Amino acid sequence: MKKLVSSVLAASMVLSLAACGSSASTDTASSSEAASTSTAATAEAAGEGSGAYTGTPIKIGGIGPITGGAAVYGQAVKNAEELAVKEINAANGSDVFDWKFEDDEHDAEKSVNAYNTLKDWGLQVLAGPVTTTPSIAVAAETANDNLFMMTPSASAPAVIESGDNVFQICFTDPNQGKGSADYIADNNIAKKIAVIYDSSDAYSSGIYNMFKKEAEAKGLDIVAEQSFTKDSKTDFSAQINAAKSAGAELMFLPIYYQQASLILTQSKSLGFSPKFFGCDGLDGLLNIKNFDTSLAEGVMLLTPFAADAQDQETQDFVKAYKDAYGEIPNQFAADTYDGIMVLAELMKKEKITNEMEASEICEKLKKAITDPDFSYNGLTGSNMKWSEDGAVSKDPKAVIIKDGAYSAL
């Protein structure tokens, strides 16, 4: 039988966590029937109904935008957290995790409010938030509380600078910038580069700054550097015309998919058709309502995950996710799934139980995740390791949008 990535992790976790009380149910919103399909191999590996962990479930929570402009990201994270938690719980025969997810609408203040709501619920470990600015705000709160936080997708260095309790499963913004410049140069994709970035956004600026430095080192010519802010992100005609006039062969877009869709649309209207290259913020481009996805054909981006990869773990994950939620998972979902499984492995290693205070759990997880002997092989990377500053070491992958889908380059 096919095995998901979670099968090994869930099996080892549920066989070693100590029992400590009564069980409780997860706060899952949908798709229980579909998710049960993906738990079959997990249950087989762990021993279905074995009840290895019969104690009160450990409370793990998530925060992210499931409404608003960044909902594509938040919904993917919410789905993947739900899927992973259900697999682990089903394999055990009773709940190992109690899970709850709060909407922050990609707003820092609302994200802090969501965190406080989860704390009132009894939060012990946080898997989130999703986007950078809310994550920076929440990270400061978790540092004050010494509560373990792992964000699946907030990639700015500022997120993990708040405290030694904050970790990333996604690769950092500087790594994306450097990786993009290296890939463009090493594969001779283009020499003359135009950049359009959001100067008011930490994610976008962080990628751009490292990209510029590495591009110069690699001999790439940045012929146009154009910016916008959160208050001027609908009309990009000036930036596009500047790139066109400069003779740019490639437009580098270290931005989110909403603005990228407008740039692609407006570039066509202005008769400009360079190559386009972006980072993980462009993942979601194919899911925008009323966007002509044919305009995204040929767009390249760096991502830790390609849904069309042929390894068994990826194929099983994609099938389970699609069965549960009716769509192909993006890299936010894959990073999230890996993150929950990493937490499961660490909790198994440290014999974490619900009876422990959040601060005690945090101290144990910090020690375990930075142990030089600990590494993790998952959907989004092999031999992943974490440094004491909270950053993960793993290599991004390049994909291209072809025939309306992401394909590995």
Whether 224 is in a domain gets the answer: yes
pLDDT for res 112:
98
Q: Which domain holds residue 15?
A: 5-170+309-394
- Number of domains the chain is built from: 2
Identify the pLDDT of residue 28: 41
Residues 138, 263: one domain? no
Beta strands in 220-274 (DSSP E): 221-228, 250-253
Query: 127, 340 in Cβ contact below 8 A?
Result: yes
**Which DSSP helix (H) or strand (E) runs through 32?**
helix 32-38
Q: Are 196 and 278 in contact (CB under 8 A)?
A: no
Cα–Cα distance measured from residue 184 to residue 180, given in angstroms and rounded to the nearest whole number? 6
CA distance 345 to 12: 8
Same-domain status, 278 and 352? no
The reply to whether 160 and 115 lie within a common domain is yes
- The answer as to whether 74 is a domain residue is yes
* pLDDT at site 308: 78
- pLDDT tens by residue, the chain, 409 residues: 333 434 434 434 433 333 333 222 334 433 344 343 343 334 333 334 444 777 899 999 999 999 998 999 999 999 999 999 999 988 888 898 999 999 999 999 999 999 999 999 999 999 999 999 999 999 999 999 999 999 999 988 899 999 999 999 998 888 889 999 999 999 999 999 999 999 998 889 999 999 999 999 999 999 999 999 988 889 999 999 999 999 999 999 999 999 999 999 999 999 999 999 999 889 888 888 899 999 999 999 988 888 877 789 999 999 999 999 999 999 899 999 999 999 999 998 899 999 999 999 999 999 999 999 999 999 998 889 999 999 998 877 788 999 988 887 8
pLDDT at 300: 96
The one-character DSSP state at 24 is: -
pLDDT at 292: 95
Contact between 260 and 253 under an 8 Å Cβ cutoff? The reply is yes
Q: Which residues in 260-287 are b (16+ Cβ under 10 Å) and which e?
A: bbbbbebbeeeebebbbbbbbbbbbbbb
Last residue of a domain, one of 272, 303, 334: 303
Q: List Cα–Cα distances, 14 to 1, 96, 122, 350, in angstroms.
A: 20, 7, 22, 13
- pLDDT reported for residue 42: 40
- CB neighbour list of residue 124: distance below 8 Å, 6 or more residues apart: 58, 59, 60, 147, 354, 356, 358, 361
The residue among 303, 321, 353 that closes a domain is: 303
Cα gap 46→13, rounded to integer Å:
9
The single-letter DSSP state of residue 229 is: -
Residue 21 has what pLDDT? 30
Q: How far apart are CA 142 and CA 114, in angstroms?
A: 12
177 and 212 both lie in a single domain? yes
Question: Does 236 reside within a domain?
Answer: yes
CATH number at residue 116: 3.40.50.2300
Question: What's the confidence (pLDDT) of residue 156?
Answer: 87
Cα gap 22→216, rounded to integer Å? 60
